[in-house]
A and B are shown apart, each in its own frame.
Chain A
Amino acid sequence: MQTARDIEALTGGAMASVWSWVKEKIPAGVEVFDAHAHIGADVDGRAMTADGMRSLMDAADVRKSIVFPLNDPNARDDYSGPNDVVWNAYEEYPLSFVPFFRLNPHLDYDTEFGRCVERGFMGLKLHPVSQEFELDDSRVVRLLAMAAEADLPVLIHAGFAMQRIVEPLLPTVEAHPELRLILGHAAMVEVLEATRAFEDHLNVLFETSVVQAKDLYELCCSLDPSRICFGSDIPYGDLPSTLHSILAAADAAGVPDEALPGILSENIRRWFP
């Protein structure tokens, strides 16, 4: 849980000059859109409420965030409880949050998928590490096909602890070019290979949360900036440091300032106007 002291600490002290640089770098008029954040509780003890999330967004002048459940210790088999927590947050703050639901591909997911689509959830989150599955598991391939059929964007964790990303995912992307896919954490361990494999698949976006600036530098040097979107991964990342990571990496890579509104907002806002 974030306190007022935390929020002040995120941009004060030794971070003050960093935060000033970030604010200078964000083009005037850009309404920053965070494409990766969590609401709920995790088995590792971390948690975030709708109000806590809103406080962090307000402090960093972030206007909208995609939110979805953590690896919730109270998740029933179908994830319906944690999904309801996210939906309630969306109902409380419909202008601030874009609600995604989460599923466990190992279990019978059809009913919860249908319930969430019917309810109005705007996307699906999958976490191959937490739910222990591979991206070419037949149940995952089927689920991604269902999302493509429902025109539902999918954010896949493609960050810490991943060992296979491009090779198991590419056949599904090729089979469903209409599938809108967000690679969470920018496929960091295979970032260069991923930019090569997905360069021509315009419905694949690379999301930047808690990715090291050196990985983001490689991303920015290798991919058109229209395919990159900012994320924070709250409560694991925070907004000031993750904004700094992508803006500093883009600056070092020579990404023109004209492309920054896209990275910070417009690229993901195309899917969630």
Chain B
Amino acid sequence: MKAGVDAAIRTAHLVRIDSYMDFAILAMWTASPRVDVMLGMVDASLRGGSPGGKDDDLLEKLRALVKEGREYLAEGDFFVAMGRMRTAHDLLSLHVIRLSDG
């Protein structure tokens, strides 16, 4: 893999996860009846390793935060669940920003 292509596929993989997180967090803010489905899509988008394995540490952190966020929301604890989802989203977006800076 060439360096540029490597960065591009890594970014693509992370940006698509970011968009699923957007859906889920918006569903949480608006109390959508489909919020658990949206969180399930985030879960799905996080499965498997990252391209080249370079972002696996990040994905592992995100999986743990999203899993706990989904569990807390299912128990009715929006406050704690949203904290985890917002933190996961922030870690992901700042990682992408740093990646774009080489």
Contacts and interface: CB of A to CB of B under 8 A. Distances in A.
Interface of A: 2, 6, 9-10, 13-15, 17-18, 160, 210, 212-214, 217, 235-238, 240-242, 244-245, 248-249, 252
Contacts of A6: 77, 79-80
A252 B100 CA distance: 12
Given A245-B86, A245-B90, A252 B98 contact: yes
B80 A14 contact: no
Nearest to B94: A252
B93 interface: yes
Contact of A238 (B61, B79, B90, B93): B79
B79 A235 contact: yes
A52 B34 CA distance: 30
Given A9-B72, A10-B80, A214 B87 contact: no
Given A14-B61, A15-B65, A210 B86 contact: yes
A10 B77 CA distance: 11
Contacts of B37: none
B61 A249 contact: no
B65 A10 contact: no
A15 B83 CA distance: 9
Given A237-B82, A238-B80, A245-B90, 16 more contacts: A6-B79, A14-B64, A14-B67, A17-B61, A18-B91, A212-B93, A214-B90, A214-B94, A214-B97, A238-B82, A238-B83, A241-B84, A241-B86, A241-B87, A245-B87, A248-B91
B33 to A, nearest CB: 16
Nearest to B85: A241
Nearest to A13: B68
A48 to B, nearest CB: 10
Contacts of B86: 210, 212, 237, 241-242, 245
Nearest to A239: B83
Interface string B32-58: 000000000000000000000000000
Contacts of A212: 86, 89-90, 93
Contacts of B97: 214, 217, 252
A212 B31 CA distance: 19
B79 A244 contact: no
Nearest to A238: B83
Given A14-B67, A160-B29, A249 B90 contact: yes
Contacts of A245: 86-87, 90
